[in-house]
Amino acid sequence: MAMTPDKSACAVGVISLVGDKTAGTLVLWLPKASFCTVVNHMFSENHSDINAGNADAAAEILNMIYGMARTRVNLKGPNLQPAIPSVMWGGDVNVSLNGYDSTSSLRCSCLGQPFMLLLGLKQVKS
Q: Is 21 helix (H, G, I), strand (E, B) or coil?
A: coil
C-beta of residue 107 within 8 angstroms of C-beta of residue 3: no
Strands (E), 19-110: 22-31, 81-82, 86-90, 95-96, 102-110
Report DSSP letters for 16-73, one per residue.
Answer: EEE-SSEEEEEEEEEEHHHHHHHHHHHHT----S--TTTTTHHHHHHHHHHHHHHHHH
Beta carbons within 10 angstroms of residue 29's beta carbon: 26
Q: How far apart are CA 10 and CA 67, in angstroms?
A: 23
Q: Given pLDDT bands bounded at 50, 70 and 90, which one contains residue 8?
A: low
Domain 2-123 CATH (choose: 1.50.40.10, 3.40.630.30, 3.40.1550.10, 3.20.20.140): 3.40.1550.10
Cα radius of gyration (the chain): 15
Q: What's the pLDDT score for residue 14?
A: 95
pTM score of the predicted model: 0.88
Strands (E), 57-112: 81-82, 86-90, 95-96, 102-110
C-beta of residue 17 within 8 angstroms of C-beta of residue 97: no
Least confident stretch, 3-12, 69-78, 80-89: 3-12
Q: What's the pLDDT score for residue 5?
A: 54
